[in-house]
Amino acid sequence: MENETVQPKVNPSVPLEENVTFVLPRPLPTALFCVGLALFLGFLSDCSSLLPLNVANIIWQINSLERVFNEASIPMLSFILMLSGVWLNNAVNGTKNKILGWICGLISLVIGVSLLLAVPLYLKNINFAYRIKSEEILNQRKIDKPAPRSELAEKYDASLKELSDTVYRNVLRFGTNGVVMGGALVLLGIFGIRQTRDRADVGFTCVTCGSSKVRLSQMNANEQSLATFTRIHTFRCEDCSRRFRKFSITGKPFPFFF
């Protein structure tokens, strides 16, 4: 007997599985943007407690900068959520909200640069305060003139060591936090601003006719081996059919980073 192929029985009452596609909920981009905006407004309200400004007071500057550095993760998270909401809204609606994305990116860039510039100021102020405090302890020690290895001498030594350790911990904690969060906000702002730009697939023009209708061209074997060690691209003009090569400092088919 010939081998017969047995077909599986299908129950007509059970519906066949359909291809399930992920659909992004439309309220999600707006919700992300609103949550990010609420976090940023909360951060501003916390910073309002630093008013009135007392810039002439170094202790006030140190305390204010430490508080801002300690809460720098809040604006970073808020702009991540806001820009994510803007980009998801653009993807859902098929449009590009340039104004909102540009504003969020610019504010993020300004805050990031401000944090980076505030780190040297914080280091300068805390070093100045450390020298003043240590001089006060040393002057008081000269006045008291404690005996060597006495309890009072050990107390002054412990005070100097505690002061040095506190300054070291604060510099390491708040300085690192300011640099990391400031750098992240700068990169986020630059990326947000770049996304608002409309640019073609290729940033070069034809070397013969100057046309902007230029597309990437497939490389031959020699060009591919050359491109392994250099950043060249091959292009073809749609108007004059001229094929040419260009060097890109960024490794992409654009003359500059933006």
Q: Are 239 and 209 in contact (CB under 8 A)?
A: yes
* 186-209 residue pLDDT tens: 999 988 888 776 555 556 677 778
Q: CA–CA separation, 152 vs 146, rounded Å?
A: 6
Tokens 């990391």 correspond to 180
Q: Are 214 and 202 in contact (CB under 8 A)?
A: yes
- Look at residue 41 in the predicted model and tell me its pLDDT: 92
Stretch 94-109: mean pLDDT, rounded? 85
- Average pLDDT over the chain, rounded to whole? 78
- Look at residue 79 in the predicted model and tell me its pLDDT: 92
Q: CA–CA separation, 120 vs 173, rounded Å?
A: 14
Q: CA–CA separation, 29 vs 8, rounded Å?
A: 46
Stretch 57-73: mean pLDDT, rounded? 89
Please tell me which residue, 155 or 24, carries the higher pLDDT value.
Answer: 155
Measured CA distances, 252 to 192, 204, 221, 228, 238 (Å): 19, 11, 20, 13, 20
Work out the percent of the chain whose per-residue pLDDT is above 70.
78
pLDDT band of residue 20 (cuts 50, 70, 90) is very low
Q: CA–CA separation, 10 vs 95, rounded Å?
A: 45
198: left (phi over 0), alpha (psi -120 to 50) or beta: beta
**Rg of the chain on CA atoms, in Å:** 31
Work out the percent of the chain whose per-residue pLDDT is above 90.
20
Please tell me which residue, 232 or 155, carries the higher pLDDT value.
Answer: 155
The two structure tokens encoding residue 156: 């002054």
pLDDT beyond 50 at 16? no
Domain boundaries defined on the chain = 27-194, 199-258
| CA max distance for the chain | 116
